Each structure stands twice: as C-alpha cells, then as structure tokens.
Chains A and B, each alone.
Chain A
Amino acid sequence: MEKTKQDFIKFCLAGFLALTFFSVLHAGVKITPIADISVLGGKYYLDSDAASFQGRLDLFLSPVLNFGEGHDLIPVYSGNYSGTQDIQELAGGGVLTRQRQTHTVSLKYVYTDEFNKYKPRISYSKAMIKETKDENWGDGLFDYTTLSLGFDAEQERPYGTFTESYDFYQVKYPNYSTLLSAAQTVIDTATFSELSSNAGTNTMDNTNHRLGFVYTWFPDPAVMKAGYDITYRSYGDQALVAKPVTGQPYFKSDKRADLLQNWNIRVSRAIKPVYLGVGARVGWLSSNQDSYDSSRTKFIKDYYSYVDLGLTPNMNFIFKNGAQFGFGVEWRRLYYLGRLKQDASGNYGAAKINQTVWLSSISARYPVFSRFFVRAAYNYQVSSSNMRYEANYRYNYRASTYLAGLEWEF
C-alpha cells in the first residue's frame, strides 16, 4: 500500500516535469522565469544559551508558463536550509540547534475568466530535520512528507474580492512509529498484550481537509481582509487514550480527530511610504484526544484542545528604490481547555494552562546592486505561562535571533 502511494507521488512528479518540458517545446507557450534567493547568516539564543553562528538559505524558482490569455501554469520549486532555529518555531522543546531542509515542488494552473480565477494545484514536500547529535539527514525523528491537492477560486468585484479554497493534505512521518509497535518481541507477552490492544503504529501521520474563505474590501483609505478557515485533521493510526481501568486496554478503539477553526481580520492603510496594518485572530482547536501522565498517574481529559488569540500590529516603510524597513509585534495568548497546570515539581493544580507569547521583529532590506538586496532581521520573543513544570517542554523562556545577508530577486 505504502509502495503504491510512493509510486503515485513519483508519477505525479514525473508528470509535472514532463508537462513542463513539453510545454516549453510548445511554440505558443511564453515563459517568464521568476526566482528569489536569499543567503543569510545568524544566531539563535534561548535564554542564556546561544547556538553557534549558522547559515540559512531560502529560494524559489519558477518558469511561469503562459499558454495564452487567461491560461497560466506555474511550476515552482522552493527549497530551504536553515542551520538555526526559526524564532516562530516552538522553542519549548529545548532544542538549541535545529537544522532543517525542505524541498517542495508544486504545480498550479491559473485560469482567468475576466474577474474570476480558478486555480487547481498539487504539491509534494519533504522536510528533513536534524536536532540531535545522532540524527543524520533523512533519518530525523520528525522528518515528514506532505502531499497536497487543492483548488482555489477567486472573484474580484468592485466592492471586494472573495476567495474560497479547499485543500487536502496528507502528512507522513516515515521515521516515527510508536515504540510499542517495536516492543512486541522484547517485552513479555502479557505486558505487550495488555498495552497493545487498539494501539496504532504511525500515530503522528495525519490527513487534513481544509476549507478557507477570505473577503477583502476597500473602505477608503483602508484595506480590510476577513477570513475564516476550518480544518478537519484525522490521525488514522492514533487511538484515544483511555483512563486506566482494571482489565481494560490502555487505548480505546476510536481514533483521534481534531477540528481547527480560525477567524481573522486585518486592516491596513498606506500613508506612503508608511504602510500600517493590524490583524486580529481567534483560533480554536477541538480534539477528542485525552492524555495520561503515567509518571504521576493522572488522567487529563481534553489535553490538546485550546483557544488561541492573536494581535499583530505592524508598520513598514517601503521606498521607491526598493528599500524596506519593518517593525512588527505579535501578541499571542493560548488557553488550553483541558490541560492542567503543574507546579515546579510537577504536582497538578486545578487551573488550566495558559501561555502568552510576545514576538517583536525588526527587519530591513536595502538595494545594493541591480536586483541584489542586503537584508537583516532581529526577532525577540518572550513566552510566559502559569505552567511551571518544564522537565520536557519549556513554557517560560526568552528567545531571539538575528539574521543578515543577501537576497537576489529575479
């Protein structure tokens, strides 16, 4: 089965490349090459610890194919290598150095019918992550592949623009399977049979269906954008954790499913060369999964569900010569709906965990030659929480990054 899926992905990619190649041969096709490459270097700091100076490379390449008025095919390769933690990556795992490379190929067809656009798309992505001394490229615990299919529609009208999208994506973690699934031959039969009933193997693999709606309108002099999206995420091999009961299995027969919804609104205004904007967001993840803390024999219902509030004001200066300076703040507050707070020694309290994250960013881009720009960015993040138990995950920390380098835009 797995082999068949891999073959399907390879088939899609081969088709994608063949289509691109034959399109180029086709006399009526016009090609517009687009590329963007940035090479940056910098450091990541977590509390008083600093990672070593590392590089970062981001690029995308696309030969945009135009088949005539209203028909465009956009194949894109995008790649990324990062030797440093991204400030927005969740730092709580305590990993100071996280090398990561991602490779994505995608194909998007854009059909334009006057003021309407229809965009079917497909993409395949592979992310490889090295976090510890013993991980090599390709065998990282959290390596994953993503196959994504989707369809976007857009209607531009005098009073506003509507965008609707549907995306299906399937994420697989080839190096992550439960330890229990590997324990059959090594722990005794009785213990294994007590534990393994209903237990899955590939518990992180997830399948997603996402519906998104965005409406943009223009109450002069501002631009407003409101959006809603809903994602149904199922973990086909992750069984629900049961509260331990004599003679009952550790896992239930039902599988985990999450429903994630986001509401957001953004207003922006240009007072050239200053561009001001502020966005607000409410997110709600509802999961049917619970958790059991074996070390403290505590069952925690609704462990994963949360409500997430966000506010993001920002100000950018954009000059005619391409120079840009940006300042931004992101405030985020996370309320876990069932996850109980613990004191520093791990004793559970009655209150639920909340977490507040402040992220401030300064960035600059300045043209130096032709299409080359120097870029620099500094980010500073503070996370605080009422959760004091941090043996495995840090809820309270300060992190910062600085990055500087060159960008080439074509």
Chain B
Amino acid sequence: MRYLFSLILLVGLCAQSRAAYIDAWRGEADLKRAGSADWVRLEGEEKFRLGNGDELRTGRASTVEIMMEDGSRVKLAPVSAFKMSSETKEAVSLGLYFGRVRSWVKKFSKKFEVRTPSAVCAVRGTDFMVSSDQEGNSRVEVYDGSVLTGDSKGYSSLVREGQYAEVPAGGRINAPRENPNEPGDMNSAVGNPSQAARNEIYSEISKEDVISRAQEEIQSAEFQNRKVAIDAFGNRVRMEEYVIRPEANQFKYVVLNTREGRFDFGKMLFTFNAALPADLSLATRDMTSAAGSVTPAWQLTAMNSVISNTLDKVTEDASGGKMVADNAGNPTSWTHFFSNYAVYAAGPAEGSENGGLGRMLWSYSDVNADNTVQTGEMAYLGGAEPTGSVIYPGGEDVFNTVTLNTYSDGTWMQASDYVLFDDGKILSAGDLGTRLGVSMDTATDKLNFERVYTSSLFGGRKIDLEFSAKLLKDAGLLRF
C-alpha cells in the first residue's frame, strides 16, 4: 500500500512537471485554482504552473501567455476568460468562455483542442485563433495548418490555412470562408483587424467633421454679422458696411456689395452742427424727427450720398439742414428739413458735370426760407416737371415698387425697390401680421433693402445695391 501511494505521488509529480505554466502576463490577470472559489491576482516574477481545471481571466490591456509541456504556446487576449480543462500525455484541452485565445501548436505533438460554448476546435500542428463572444458565438481563424471544428449539434468542418469559420451559439457551423483579415492584435480587446482599422477611419472622419463644424460656425457668423445675404433675384450678395468719422462733426457710412461679376457701393457723408458723441446712435436716432421742447443737440446740416456701380452713379447732395419745430413758440416735436437738395445721375460721359456730381435731375432750394418746398422752388432737368409712374410688379401687397421718371429732355431714370427677408424673399403685406407681427413702417427696419437704378444715362447698365434700410431711412434717404 505504501508503495502504491508512492507510485501515485510519483506519477502526480511527473504529471505536474508536464503541466503548462504561465510564461508571462501583462496588466491585470486573475487565476482561480481548481476547486477554489477565489480569484487571485497574478503578481511577482513567479511562473505559475497550471493544473487541470485552473481558470484564468484577463482585464483590459491585459494578456497571459501559457507554455505547454511540449513547447506549444497559447496567448489569451484582453477581456477573456479561459480554463485549462485538461492536459495529459496524449492531449491538451482548453476551454474559452469568452474572448480570444491564439494557439501556436507544435507539429507532430499531442492532440490539442480548444472548446468554446458552441464549438470544438481540434488540431495537430497549427497556428490558429479562437474567439467567443458573451453570447457564446464562436469564430476560428486558421493561419497555419488546419483545424477540425465541430459544433454542438455534431456537425464539423475542416478549416484550412487562410480560412475562418463561425459557429453560432447553439447552431450549426457555417462553411469555412477565405479570411480577408490578418491575424488580429492579441494585445487588443478588438480582435477584428478590419474593425480596428474601421475605428481608425471613423476617428479620422470625425476629426474632419470637427473642422467642418467649426467652419460652418465661422460662415454662420458672416450672416450674423450682416456680411452675406441673398438678393431679390436669388443671387449671393456680399455686403460690407462701415462707419468712419472723418471730422469731429461728421460720420461717413460706406456700404460695399459684390455679386457674381459686379461691384456696387454706396457712401454717405453726414455733417452735423456740432461734434458728435462717442455713441453715434445718440445723434442718428433724432436725425429726421425728435420729440421735446428743446432743440436736439445734434442737427444734420449737410448730407452727400453716392450710389454707384463703379461706372455710373446717383448722387444726392443736401445742405442747410436743421430741425424745425412744430410750434415755434411752444415746440413739442421737431422735423428735419434741408434748405437745399439736389439729385444727380451720371454715366461715364456725365460724371464731370456740376463739379463732379453728374447731371442734375431735380433740385429744390428753399428760397423764401419758410422751411417748406413750393412748386416754384423746384427745378428739373429739361425744365418741365417730369412725367412719372409707380407700378407694383407683384401687386400692391408686395414690397416691390418701380418708380419711373421721364424728364422733358427724354432722360429717364427708374428705381426698383425691394424689401427682403434674409433668404431673398420679397416682403408682402401678408407677412406683416403673420410672419413679422409688425406694422409696415417697422417691417422695413427689420429687413434688407435693395435698390436697382436704371437710366438712359447708364448705357444699359444698372446700379444694384443691397443694404440695411435703417440708417438711410433715419437720414431721410429712403422713404416708404
């Protein structure tokens, strides 16, 4: 009996000496010995021997490499759970609960198999990888040699070098196919190289997306900052508006427009009776009318406006400006009045007339200084009062008016006005109540204004300027 016990012990020791051992590990790997309920974290330099029934599990960024007695090698990928089912002189059986295990099996060695919840992979001499997901679906990829893979229903297929086969949980093994992928990175929890590469591509596209979103925001700010709009004809208009202060009692408003193949601009110089405040709006808000018994501190005395397409121009020139009380003895409100006002138009040929202002179309001068304009104070090109017409191409409800004046010498000038939404749509009366909820007067403050001048002086060209109406309306240059 004593000899028998010694013999068993000797066999056991020999078996132990043949047993697999943990050759290396990285990160966090846990070992549970057969019969124990506790997982123990691998630590230190010791090469732990693995007995039948021992289990291993790996965390993220953690791997374990196992050496078999015959020189075969097994690597457990991150986030995997594995069991050393049995190792005998004739056979090795490994279990994979989930994750991935790659095996480099010595040729002409003992029988070697990897079991998953849905598959059995048996091999002699090969390099292959077996994976199993949390649901028990398995996949075997063969890089060298061949692997006989069976499912739980008893079906099996020989998976050859360069092929892979999938075994669904509880299902039948799929026919082996050509494996388009290289062996997966066993240090990564993502076993599929295609998926890993796809992740890199998505990351790259995502970076481009971040740049694209930033540029959209920058573009959007151009709209917010009133630099881009769409005109009444659906075309892109770029606008730049500037205010500069040449003298203490002056400011100049400049608006620049470009469209495809054309450039238009307007510049308006406003001169006041006194030095202007730092906040110009204190002066501009009372430019055309003001309430109160006291004369407004800043009164517009002169104005010069030029609107041009760089060849042709329309000029308005005014002087002698002042605020006129409604009741001289007891004023309650004030209205602005220019004593002298003239409108000029010029093509290249007329540009030098009247000291560079162009050809005078009409003017008035308050000769009797009564702060009103009488018929006798008006002057017109050709002498007689021009014939005029106003039409509404879209109907009277649509804010598109076309005003045509034909002077007695045959010269004519037409002004087409549009009040526009941001998308280029022309305002109509129906929008006032429904879309805007405001009166006609305030609607013109809210929206953009486009004026198109054509004239017999312009040689078939037009002047086409879009701008915000507010300032020009305040200055009396626009009248609705």
Contact = CB atoms under 8 A, between A and B. Distances in A.
A binds B: yes
B413 interface: no
Given A179-B257, A345-B442, A94 B240 contact: no
B198 A34 contact: yes
B224 A393 contact: yes
A180 B60 contact: no
A141 B220 contact: no
Interface in A41-94: 49, 60, 62, 64, 66, 69-70, 72, 74, 76, 78, 88-90, 92-94
A244 B251 contact: yes
A296 interface: yes
Given A294-B241, A344-B442, A158 B230 contact: no
B390 interface: no
Interface bracket on B: 35 or more
A344 B437 contact: yes
Interface bracket on A: 35 or more
B243 A204 contact: no
Contact of B205 (A78, A167, A186, A190): A78
B229 interface: yes
SS class, residues of chain B in contact with chain A: mixed
A32 B257 CA distance: 52
B216 A344 contact: no
B265 A187 contact: yes
B284 interface: yes
A164 to B, nearest CB: 13
B211 A148 contact: yes
A32 B194 contact: yes
A6 interface: no
B267 A191 contact: yes
A204 B248 CA distance: 33
Interface string B440-480: 00100111100000000000000000011111000000000
A90 B423 contact: no
B380 interface: no
Interface string A274-296: 00000000000000000111111
B104 interface: no
A393 B308 CA distance: 27
Interface stretch (B4-12, B231-239, B364-372): B231-239
Nearest to B207: A167
Interface of B: 26-28, 59-62, 134-135, 180-182, 185, 187-188, 193-194, 197-198, 200-201, 203-205, 207-208, 211-226, 228-230, 233-236, 238-248, 251-260, 263, 265, 267, 278-281, 284, 308, 310, 421-423, 436-438, 442, 445-448, 467-471
Given A195-B254, A390-B422, A392-B226, A66 B219 contact: no
25 contacts: A34-B198, A60-B201, A66-B182, A89-B216, A90-B216, A106-B204, A115-B27, A121-B204, A127-B215, A141-B238, A148-B208, A150-B207, A156-B188, A244-B244, A245-B278, A246-B247, A247-B245, A250-B243, A294-B243, A296-B284, A297-B471, A344-B442, A344-B446, A345-B438, A345-B446
Interface in A143-202: 144, 146, 148, 150, 152, 156-161, 167, 169, 171, 178-180, 182-183, 186-188, 190-191, 194-195
Interface of A: 30, 32-34, 49, 60, 62, 64, 66, 69-70, 72, 74, 76, 78, 88-90, 92-96, 102, 104, 106, 108, 110, 112, 114-115, 119, 121, 123, 125, 127, 131-135, 141-142, 144, 146, 148, 150, 152, 156-161, 167, 169, 171, 178-180, 182-183, 186-188, 190-191, 194-195, 204, 206, 208, 218, 231, 233, 243-248, 250, 260, 272, 291-299, 303-304, 320, 344-346, 389-394
